[in-house]
Amino acid sequence: MTKQALLATILFSAEQPYFVYSSVATNNTDASIAVRDVIATYKLQMPELKGGKLTKSNRGKDAARFILNKFAKDTSTIFADKSYAVACKFFEYVFEPVLSSHSTWFYNINFHRFISNSLYVHYLAKDQMARQLLIDFEDSMRRKDFSKIEQIYHLTSSNNKASPFMRDITTFCVCHKDRIRDELDTLWSIDHLGGWSLELSMTSLHSLLGGWSGRFDSMEVACDDSKPLSTQINMLDSMIGRDDRITIEMAGRKQVVVYNLTAPVRLVSSKDNPAIQIADVFASSIAYALKHQEEDFSKDVLRICEESIDENSVYPGAEHADLFSESGYINGNLLQLLIRRTLRGEDLFEGIPAFINQAKRAYPNWVCTMRR
């Protein structure tokens, strides 16, 4: 297991816009032979394979292609658009604490995707308030300081050009700030979690292992050593010796949450573990390909690796923010309802399933009216 572009705290980065975490099902003996062969065949001047270096030259890219083709059927990769990931984390830490008692209702209609994608669309459109909100949110999480989240409302209260969506978002933040702060204070008080609340390595590893559990009854796992993993990896000890594979379904997607490890996950050096080097070639090549999609090398990489991309990869889908789609119509109305009830001090959840069903029935007539 290896990741490309460590996402310790700062997610916004034009230089490296994607987080990529790759895994390979192999052993160091087979990996060592492949590494030795590719270094000799392509006359690489390096003692070990470094994916980032391979993508900087044509010879290196040819070597990367060799590795990709050889191991493609034995790899799995998860990636995230970093900027969009911040918008997703915003929902997770701002909306989720308030809605948690009935979160299934909201996830099953993709309310989380509506909020995160709408915020991301505003960000892409260079909406200054959306950009400032995400930057302040990220800074607050990194510093474990709630004050900037408390100040979010001022982004729109003093700006009469704020979009209705941004006003709704900031209103929700301010009105529920006590509940949000309580949740964050609890998170920040946990040493091995608080400092890495925006980091994606652990959740990526968990998702990949869940995927691999469909192929292997038990797994022995080694990962490239990193600070985020070293502080959290013990969380996976609960998976050791499990004989029950548990899967949950949410928003139409299945996620394995319990799988079987034969031993604690080992954190190792890539220098002494050729299998880690193989995974690094995949991670670096895919990160490069996502950023430079017009290049022939990138097209080759994405074609070769297409089947091995984990379905839990985090990337935007503008259709979720389309207010003229059924999903956008329902979730847009649901957000308005939550804001009205928030401002009136009413129960947020009373009759929500009925409201959703009514919105579904009303949508066909509404969309016909809008098209006239």
Q: 235-264, pLDDT tens digit by residue? A: 999 999 999 999 988 777 788 999 999 999
The confidence band for 148, taking pLDDT boundaries of 50, 70 and 90, is confident
CB 2 within 8 A of CB 283: yes
State mean pLDDT over 210-222. Answer: 95
The confidence band for 299, taking pLDDT boundaries of 50, 70 and 90, is very high
The confidence band for 361, taking pLDDT boundaries of 50, 70 and 90, is very high
What is the number of domains present in the chain?
1
- What's the token pair of residue 131? 């950009």
Residue 364 belongs to some domain of the structure: yes
Residue 15: its pLDDT value, please? 75
From residue 96, give the alpha-carbon distance in Å to each of 202, 240, 328: 19, 30, 19
CA atoms within 13 A on the CB side of 71: 32
Residue 210 belongs to some domain of the structure: no
Residue 51 belongs to some domain of the structure: no
Residue 21 belongs to some domain of the structure: no
Q: Does pLDDT of 215 surpass 90?
A: yes
Q: Which of 24-33, 76-85, 156-165, 282-291 has the lowest mean pLDDT?
A: 156-165
Model confidence, pTM: 0.90
Beta strands in 25-136 (DSSP E): 75-81
Residue 216 belongs to some domain of the structure: no
Residue 171 belongs to some domain of the structure: no
Beta strands in 56-185 (DSSP E): 75-81
Alpha carbons 102 and 69: distance in angstroms, whole number: 45
Residue 203 belongs to some domain of the structure: no
State mean pLDDT over 107-135. Answer: 94
The residue segments making up the domain with residue 347 are: 322-372
